[in-house]
Amino acid sequence: MVQKAAVLTQTGGAVTMRPDGGPATGEPVGGSSATGVTGPAKQDEIDSDLPSQDMAKEFYAKYDPKEVLGRGISSTVRKCTEKNTGKEYAVKIIDISGEKTDNYQAEQTKRDTIREINILRMCISHPQIIELHDAFETPTFIFLVFELCKQGELFDYLTQVVTLSEKRTRLFMKQLLTAVEYLHSKNIVHRDLKPENILLDDNLNLKVSDFGFATVLGPNEELSELCGTPGYLAPEVLAVSMYDNVPGYRHEVDMWACGVIMYTLLCGAPPFWHRKQMQMLRMIMQGNYKFGSPEWDDITQTAKDLISKLLVVDPRQRMTARQTLNHPFFKIEE
């Protein structure tokens, strides 16, 4: 195999490769989540950087924008209230004017956002996928109105509790895999599954969010774009970005990410980590991880077996979402 150069850029944890080697687009907002509550905002943030009412009459006719929940390079997430119902939502306001980025990024952001809208509309009403309630486009901004997940990101929840019991992990993973199975049944690949892109509602039910890197696969189509978050990238994503004459990747990359997430939930640390990023990427390509920390002493062999069948370097040997849901780990009665 001939190694080729790949420009790996990182923005807020996520990475993507741009053809001209310039800065990446599709950055996460507020630590990745677009619709989770990330903490209280200052009162003076409510009116700062808001598009004028003349520029977004349709949005302002239906919603009152409130405090900031998160910020990205070209987008801001705010709480908002629907005027007719008084119900709270989260609105992601995306700047496509090119004033904060270059024209290439602005056009790419617009294309990515339109693709994200179309994918979310394919997933309407699935209980484990974030609901897109409304969308508006102006010449300079796109407004995406989502359900508001007041419990925030799974990442923040995990930070508070450090590790999850197998019972709680089973619940979260079953909900996640149900969503992934649904996406794959529609030929949708998420490509950036991670705890920061999973939100929790008031009842701690899981919601998959942030479809900025998601795409719909055509028949027999293989993908070659380098995008995602380093610690969750599947080996085949790295391989296709580094070598010529290797096959592209498909929906199996999401199953690898599910394995990384499950491992992290159970022990509070990711399976692939090194202070030197290139060393970490080598660990991923070799499938080099261990159940070595003391946290694993009390974890059942059944849970470890499931993880080992997801973190398989060869995507052809990796379990599908349906196969994973039928694994003995999910048959245990509490």
DSSP string, 32-49: S-SSB------GGGSSTT
Domain with CATH 1.10.510.10 in the chain: 154-330
User: Which among 222, 211, 233, 218 is positioned nearest to 112, based on CA atoms?
Assistant: 211
Residue positions counted in the chain: 334
Q: Which CATH superfamily is domain 154-330 in?
A: Transferase(Phosphotransferase) domain 1 (1.10.510.10)
pLDDT digits (tens, 9 = 90+) for 307-318: 999 999 999 999
CATH match for 9-147 among 3.40.50.720, 3.40.1180.10, 1.10.1370.20, 3.30.200.20: 3.30.200.20
Residue 92 assigned ligand-binding role: yes
Helix (H, G, I), strand (E, B) or coil at 129: strand
pLDDT per residue over 246-293, tens digit each? 999 999 999 999 999 999 999 999 999 999 999 999 999 999 999 998
Q: Catalytic: 192? A: yes
Q: What is the pLDDT of residues 140-197, one digit of tens each?
A: 999 999 999 999 999 999 999 999 999 999 999 999 999 999 999 999 999 999 999 9
Taking 70 as the threshold, does the pLDDT of residue 39 lie above it? no
The per-residue pLDDT for 102 is 80
End-to-end CA distance of the chain: 49
* Arithmetic mean of pLDDT, 107-136: 96
pLDDT for position 55 = 87
The helix or strand, by DSSP H or E, that contains position 304, with its residue range, turns out to be: helix 301-310
Work out the pLDDT band at 6, boundaries 50, 70, 90: very low
Whole-number CA gyration radius for the chain: 20
pLDDT value of position 25: 33
Q: Where in the chain is the domain with CATH 3.30.200.20?
A: 9-147
Catalytic residue, candidates 112, 156, 192, 210: 192
**Structure confidence at residue 298 (pLDDT):** 95
Closest among 131, 278, 104, 139 to 207, alpha carbons compared: 131
3-class DSSP state of 123? coil
Q: What is the DSSP letter of 153?
A: B
Task: Average the pLDDT over 26-49 and give the result.
Answer: 48
